C-alpha cells in the first residue's frame, strides 16, 4: 500500500444515521467506513477510521498518525471544530496534512459554527456534501 490515511471522527458522530438525519443524512459511520475502505483499496491506500467523544483521543491519534508516517488525516471533529484550540495546535505540531470534513455546511448553519479552529490548521476543508464529503476528502488525500 502506498500509504495510510487516518479518518478521525469526534463527538456524536457515533450517532450518524439516527441523529438529525435531515441535517446529517441516514448513513451510519460504518456505512461511510465501508465505502471509504473500498475506494482506498482502489487508490492503493488504507484507511484507519476511528471515532471518539473525547478530545484527548483525537489529539493522541493525530500524534500517532505523525509517528507512523500517515499520508494524511481526514478530521471531522464535530462540535470540537468550533472550540478546540488544542486540535489546531496539534495540526500545527505535526507534518501530516489535515483535511477538515463536515457532512453539513457549517457556514449555512448557526453563527457559532462559522468559526473553525480545525479549518485554521487544515490543508483544506470539504463540507456540505453529506457522506460524499468523506469520499471527496479521501480523493484529495490520495493526491497529497
Distance CA 95, CA 108 (A): 31
Question: Which element (helix H / strand E) includes 124?
Answer: strand 124-127
Give me the domain span that covers residue 131: 3-143
All three cell numbers of 86: 488544542
Tell me the catalytic residues.
24, 102
DSSP 78: G
pLDDT at residue number 74: 98
Region of 142 (left: φ > 0; alpha: ψ -120 to 50; beta: rest) is: alpha
Query: How many structural domains does the chain have?
Result: 1
Name the stretches of the chain with pLDDT < 70.
1, 20-21, 23-25, 107-110, 112-115
**CATH code of the domain in which 24 resides:** 3.40.50.9100
Whole-model pTM: value is 0.91
Identify the bridge partners of residue 52 per DSSP, sorted by sequence position.
none
What was the pLDDT predicted at 112?
62
Amino acid at each position: 500500500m502506498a500509504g495510510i490515511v487516518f479518518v478521525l471522527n469526534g463527538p456524536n458522530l457515533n450517532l450518524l444515521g439516527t441523529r438529525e438525519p435531515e441535517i446529517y443524512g441516514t448513513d451510519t459511520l460504518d456505512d461511510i467506513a465501508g465505502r471509504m475502505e473500498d475506494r482506498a483499496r482502489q487508490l492503493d491506500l488504507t484507511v484507519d477510521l476511528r471515532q471518539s467523544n473525547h478530545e484527548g483521543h483525537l489529539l493522541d491519534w493525530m500524534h500517532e498518525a505523525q509517528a507512523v508516517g500517515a499520508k494524511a488525516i481526514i478530521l471531522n471533529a464535530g462540535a470540537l471544530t468550533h472550540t478546540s484550540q488544542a486540535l489546531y495546535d496539534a495540526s500545527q505540531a505535526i507534518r501530516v496534512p489535515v483535511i477538515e470534513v463536515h457532512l453539513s455546511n457549517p457556514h449555512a448553519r448557526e453563527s457559532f459554527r462559522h468559526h473553525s479552529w480545525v479549518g485554521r490548521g487544515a490543508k483544506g476543508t470539504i463540507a456540505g456534501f453529506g457522506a460524499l464529503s468523506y469520499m471527496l476528502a479521501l480523493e484529495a488525500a490520495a493526491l497529497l
